[in-house]
Amino acid sequence: MTDGWRRLDARMLLVHPLETLVRFLPALLAVVFFRSGSDDHDRWELYAVPVLVAYGVLRWVTTRYRVADGQIELRRGLFTRQTTTARLDRVRTVDLTAQLHHRVLGLAKVEIATAGGKADTLVLDSLSTGAGRRLRAELLHRAGGDEGTVALTADDPGTTPAVPTGQPSGQPSGQPSGHPSGDELLVRLDPRWVRYAPLTVTGIASAAAIVGFVSQGFSRFVQERSVVREGATWVASLAWWVDVVLLLGVVSLLAVGAYVLTFWGFRLVRNERGSLHTRRGLLTNRETSIDVGRVRGLQLDEPLGLRLAGAARLRVVTSGLLRERGGSDWLCPPAPDEVVTPLALRIRDDVAAVTGPLTPHGPAARRRRLTRAVVPATVAAAALVVARVAWDWHGSLLVAVPLLLVGGVALGLDRHRALGHAVTERHLVTRQGSLDRRRVVLDRDGIIGWTVEQTFFQRRAGLATLVATTAAGRQHYDLVDVPVATAYAVLARVDPDLHAEFA
């Protein structure tokens, strides 16, 4: 291509008309339905098919891109020419997404996220899978200052990283022998990890949402089909605990299905420059590349179910990930602790930050955690008692009263045990949460600002929330209900110059 301009893959001519046709299919079906009784035999709505094909050809002819002069350029349009450019040093991540029809044709959609966020995302749909991976390597390597030859990564066709002999599947590994370009396979999915799917809050919530959607969508179907109606009547006749077991079984199966669809084939690779590359997905294959220079820390998630099973999951704290693309920050799906913890240490070699003890937040924080957990439980218990006395609800509901009170106390104490922080040579560590506990290892040099917040009740208790602001991840990470003196001590240790301004 002249002056380095390149075209999208010609196979996009099969993808784009198909996607457009699917998008407008309801409208086309509606037109066909309403015209079915018409005497007009001129099926003009069918003209839309060659129009869509022509539109796809025009889009392929008029779309070009190139990497030159320290930037990537995307040019498209025939009558109105639009050129989008992004400097390579502002490229944050490069995502390769391949839905089922892309994978059949060997194509992928490349999404290039820059410092400007979603509005400045460049999308190339579609490139061949190999070309997309080479472009990803080219962008990230040149963004790092190397204008020389770009080596193919381990994700290129024909290169399959292998775990060293004797290394259990799914365990973090060193660099495999003969692995191309010095890339290092850090972790890959062990199919046995699907057993953790029902133990996460998000997995259960997603499965419950699916159950609710399906039950609503099939309500009319149940009413109109006698066999299904009889089956529903049979289920309703079962003991309540049997219904609960059946519901939990269905929710667990759906959670496992969501886990498989999302993480099947997951693997994490680190190239010789330190950049991280993940690949995951069963039907829709998604590859994400994260520039090591944009990583600002790690987040270890330990929901209650995973903690009880001795498992956890790992995310990266980084800037530039596409926020609407949930899961792009995964470094390890729910997996055993003996996999997640060593992996975290390979990415952030700070034992004190990743696994070390944390400074607790004291008795005042414990009182606040207990109050915030016990008060709602007490209100709910009182409501059950009122319902029993005033409206003659079934007496068995009163069994839940002591359970609510004991559960509230247990939840408050567990939340207090979770609260903690630490400051190491390179990191600020914060942890909080019970049902969804999170331990964040944040790079000190990635913190760009601080806020000390106090609510009315915190002031009365002598506590504060110290907020560390960063350009990555959630944008802020909080030390919740920490004593005021401790908050300023942490600030003084991490950023002495800024502490002087607070003082």
Q: Could you please report the per-residue DSSP string of 44-73?
A: GGGGHHHHHHHHHHHHHHH-EEEEETTEEE
| Burial bucket for residue 15 (CB in 10 Å: 0-12, 13-18, 19+) | buried
Res 76: pLDDT: 87
Tens digits of per-residue pLDDT, 335-387?
Answer: 999 999 999 999 999 999 999 999 999 999 999 999 999 999 999 999 998 98
Helices (H), 35-170: 48-62, 100-105, 129-143
Helices (H), 225-313: 226-237, 240-263, 304-308
Res 380: pLDDT: 93
Query: Which of the four pLDDT bands, split at 50, 70 and 90, describes residue 35?
Result: low
Res 152: pLDDT: 35
Q: What is the pTM of this model?
A: 0.78
Q: Which residue is associated with the tokens 């908050």?
A: 487
Helices (H), 97-173: 100-105, 129-143
The answer, yes or no, to whether residue 45 has pLDDT greater than 70, is: no
Sign of CA pseudo-dihedral 338, 339, 345, 346: positive
Cα gap 74→59, rounded to integer Å: 13
For 271-310, strand residue ranges (E) read 276-280, 285-290, 295-303
Coil, strand or helix: which one is 300?
Answer: strand
The number of angstroms, rounded, from the C-alpha of 82 to the middle of its chain's C-alpha atoms is 32
Q: Position 92: which residue type?
A: R
Query: Which of the four pLDDT bands, split at 50, 70 and 90, describes residue 149?
Result: very low
Distances (CA, A) of 260 to 46, 191, 263, 320: 39, 9, 5, 26
Coil, strand or helix: which one is 479?
Answer: strand
Tens digits of per-residue pLDDT, 242-260?
Answer: 766 777 787 788 888 889 9
Side-chain half-sphere CA neighbours of 238 within 13 A: 13
Cα gap 348→89, rounded to integer Å: 23
Sign of CA pseudo-dihedral 320, 326, 328, 329: positive
Written as six digits, the tokens of 325 are 């693309």
Is 302:438 a contact under the CB 8 Å cutoff?
yes
Tens digits of per-residue pLDDT, 400-414?
Answer: 899 999 999 999 999
Which value, to the nearest 10 degrees, does the dihedral of the CA atoms of residues 189, 195, 196, 198 take?
130
Res 166: pLDDT: 35
Sign of CA pseudo-dihedral 127, 131, 137, 143: negative
Side-chain half-sphere CA neighbours of 336 within 13 A: 12
Tens digits of per-residue pLDDT, 412-457?
Answer: 999 999 999 999 999 999 999 998 899 999 999 999 999 999 999 9
Mean pLDDT of 172-192: 68
Tens digits of per-residue pLDDT, 2-32?
Answer: 678 999 998 888 887 777 777 767 766 766 6
Distances (CA, A) of 471 to 297, 319, 349, 448, 468: 12, 6, 22, 7, 10
Residue with the bigger pLDDT between 131 and 210: it is 131
